[in-house]
Structure 1
């Protein structure tokens, strides 16, 4: 589980996002990061139990994202992220294709999975798979377990017009117009800090596994 002290650190960091404060609270950060690494290690095992593309011995250090922001090309010059991001795939956080993601942040914890803004060649392949096997994807999205946890695919990025090569009256035009193929669900802070949190999150992420298989088959 995530310690309440880890969320408290992130909450304090959000109000003091500056290097001097961070450096004076470095030990608190290190304790929070160790908690995240321990949590990630158990989460990897949970995911590996239903997804054999994720190695059970994957290092959590390869999955937890850095807290330091790259501010070189950003108007926001705050030096630190105010969340811990955990990205899990066969290659940890450095993956091409679909993967799992867990966001740890006070009042903004969530889980997600799928292909987030795939590159042009992958996007083309996914749309082609939907064109050929749209009924399969619709069945995955209609499955009660998926519906209960995620509801539907995220719609943060949708084309205003139809994608090139597809008719406006295509039966799956709503799916074909997506530019990102992910599903996400919020997790309450008091759920992430309970014993059994890893089991709860793993079981919820398992509901997205069929979508992961569909996306992997599309780009393979």
Structure 2
């Protein structure tokens, strides 16, 4: 089962009628769309599992709820107008950098990277760039990577982060507070029979960058020095 145009029609109607009354009156439509998307997630767990450890990961570990958390938001619309899922070892709550799939009219994409880093994670990345930027540059400036993702998007400090000189040879990388890469899909691509294959290929290209971040954030430790 592949994602169909009915999904986009439903999401557009939900956008125009974002209230609980309409949602519950059209619950059968939502259930069909949800089941359709979950089949795609299930297929992606298998295909991404060819190069990532997805052992034990189930659909519910990847899929995001359509209901919005409006407690701290000015936007009180009760529902999201998109479908989304994240794929990684341990599922979306693992805390690891993962592959994020987003399905929305005119804004469907597969993305991943450093979107909301903790201060500790950002400090670790800058330390790694300061010490040896070559590994990261070899990944993000690789021609195949650039062809699929282009340049990273996200915020950056205006000058230089604290503790680093404006004259640092890698100042452009050090300035970044976010490094998130996107690959967009057209509606025709999303609805095509080989969409899972296309997403999987994009994930393969993104993998070295996510591996790098996960190593820096979660595995890399400074060696102990005996005094």
1:176 aligns to what? Answer: 174
Aligned to 2:133: 134
Is 2:83 the counterpart of 1:99?
Answer: no
Cα distance between partner residues in 2 of 1:56 and 1:152 = 32
Shift in Å, 1:33:
0.7
Aligned to 1:204: 202
Larger CA Rg, structure 1 vs 2: 2
3-state DSSP of counterpart to 2:101? strand
* CA distance in structure 2 between the aligned counterparts of 1:75 and 1:142, rounded to whole angstroms: 39
SS in structure 2 at match of 1:85? strand
User: 1:56 Cα deviation (Å)?
Assistant: 4.5
1:93-113 per-residue CA deviation (whole Å, 9 max, x = no partner) reads 213231110100111101101
What is the CA–CA distance in structure 2 between the aligned matches of 1:36 and 1:130, rounded to whole Å? 38
**Match of residue 123 from structure 2:** 124
1:5 maps to what in 2? 6
Could you tell me which residue of structure 2 aligns to residue 30 of structure 1?
31
User: Following the alignment from structure 1 to structure 2, what is the Cα–Cα distance between the partners of residues 187 and 195?
Assistant: 14
Aligned residues between the structures: 217
Contact kept? 2:183, 2:202, Cα under 8 Å:
no
Structure 1 residue 136, shift from structure 2 partner: 1.2
Query: 3-state DSSP class of the match of 1:121?
Result: helix
Could you tell which deviates more after superposition, 86-95 or 37-46?
A: 86-95
Equivalent residue runs for 1:79-94 within 5 Å: 79-94=78-93
> For structure 2, which runs of at least 5 residues remain unmatched after alignment?
220-227
Match status 1:110 vs 2:109: yes
Q: Deviations over 1:88-144 (max 9, x none)?
A: 111222132311101001111011011222111111111111112211111111112
Residue of structure 1 in register with 2:224 after alignment: none
| TM-score for both structures, normalised by structure 2 | 0.92
SS in 1 for 2:43: helix
Cα pair 1:84 1:105 within 8 Å, conserved: yes
Distance in 2 between residues matched to 1:169 and 1:15, nearest whole Å = 51
Please list every run of at least 4 consecutive aligned residues from structure 1 whose deviation after the TM superposition is greater than 3 angstroms. none
Deviation at 1:51, TM superposition (A): 2.3
Residue 176 of structure 1: CA displacement?
Answer: 1.1
Preserved CA contact (<8 Å) 2:52 2:88 = no
| TM superposition score normalised by structure 1 | 0.94
CA offsets per residue over residues 54-107 of structure 1, 9 Å max, x none?
x15410111111110111121111110000111111122213231110100111
Segments of 5+ residues of structure 1 without an aligned counterpart are none
